[in-house]
Structures are given as structure tokens and as C-alpha cells.
Amino acid sequence: MCRPEHFDVSYVINPWMDPSKPVDTALALLQWEALYSLYRSLGHRVDLVNPVPGLPDMVFSANGATVVDGKVLGARFRNVQRAAEAPAHQAWYRANGFTEIRDPLHVNEGEGDFAVTRSWILAGRGFRCTPEGHQEAQEFFGRPVIGLELVDPRFYHLDTALCVLDGDEIMYYPQAFTPGSREVLARLFPDALLVDQQDADVLGLNAVSDGLNVVLPEAAQKLAGQLRTRGFRTHGTDLSELLKGGGSVKCCTQELRF
């Protein structure tokens, strides 16, 4: 994770961002601290990457890399405003004992567009990540990568429209995808939890699950009830200030898989 010490909305690279709306950085920091403390209370170790002045979106650390089997595929951002985040994240991995680190040739924005299940790596495209980035991930990780086309600019990253719950169990918002991608998801995940527009519109799918506990935006009330019916424990949290930048729980959380 990365503290939002420099968080602001000073440019527009997704539909959630509006520089005319004031940002309360102190409130964003308080909300982030609550998420950080929640993870620790659930028994998770949380490592921190240092925030860099001039990089207001660095709080969205999920975009910094994808880590599978201890191998690190770095990010290559589409937008110039975020480009300098990639080397900052790679420097953290090098300093913390990771040895297999790839500086990508093609655009990918880390776990924004890569979701790792037991059997596959699901990969979003259409707004940020590219098909070439998908191929690069498959070659590097040696796992099958399933490309999924996003069609709604509000759901510009896969992690705004889909979340891995446990193993090959997922939840997603069907209308964020093309018809063909919806068919692929239905074939691969016939028992997936389908989320409605109301919960998708508050970025309810921008959640993190450890297989039992699901941390999600507190506004996604119906979704929380659906998850509890499936046996998950839900933990709602308020990241409304960070939502002004187009991110929530998952965007703030990079998962390290060994």
C-alpha cells in the first residue's frame, strides 16, 4: 500500500476525476488509514511503498505491478501523468528481495487489469491494458491469460468490474463487458456472483478477498448481503474521498503472491 500523502485530482484520465471538485487530502489519509488498520486487524501483513511528490495517484498501488509465484511483472502506464510510478514500484521490489522482475515492453497497469484466479489470469483491455500486454504476462508467468473486453469508460480497469473471491470463484458486473466476453465469463465461471448496476456504480467490485473476508466499499450494501449469503464475512469501508480519483479498496491494495 502507499499512503495518499500527495493525493489530489489535478488532471483527468478517467470519468470519475473532476479537478473542479475540491479534494480533502487529510480526509483521504484518514480513510486510507482505516483500510490499512482493517487489513492488519484481519491478520494480514501490510508493506508500504513510499509516496513520491508529484504522483497523486500513487496511492492506487494495485496498478504498480502484478506478482504471481514471487515473480514481478512491472507496470507500463498508458497515461504520461502516471508513468513515473512504475520505476518507483520496481525499486521497492528490488529493495525487498524480489529477484524475478520484468520491466514490461507493452502497456499494462498491474492488478488494475490483471485478476489472478486458481486456474487463469483474467486480463481486461479496452481502455488501458493492451492485448500485447496480455501476451507478455502469459509468457512471463507461464499461466493462461484470458482477455476480456471492457466497454464502459466508468469501468476502465478490470478491477472496477470484477473481483476474485476465492480460487476460481469470482463476482462481476456483466454490463461492463462485451457480449463475447460475457459469454467467456459465463462458460468459465457458471456460479459467479453477478452484481447489479447500483453496487457497480459505487465501485462495489473494487474489493479485496482473502477467501473468507471481503473488504469492499461500504456503500455496496446489497452486494455485502449477497456475499454473506455465500458464507463470506464482509467489511465495509469508506473511501469516498479516494473515489474522486476513480479508485477504492482494491485500487489501494497490491497483493503479493508467492
**Catalytically annotated residue among 2, 129, 163, 251:** 251
157 among known catalytic residues: yes
**Catalytically annotated residue among 2, 129, 134, 157:** 157
Cα 159 to Cα 22, 112, 114, 125, 184: the distances in Å are 25, 5, 8, 11, 17
**160: nearest Cα among 181, 147, 176:** 176
Helix (H) or strand (E) holding 95: helix 85-95
89 among known catalytic residues: no
* Region for 211 from its dihedrals, namely left if φ exceeds 0, alpha if ψ lies in -120 to 50, beta otherwise: left
Sign of the CA dihedral 161, 169, 73, 146?
Answer: negative
Are 87 and 101 in contact by the 8 Å Cβ rule? The answer is no
Catalytic residues: 157, 251
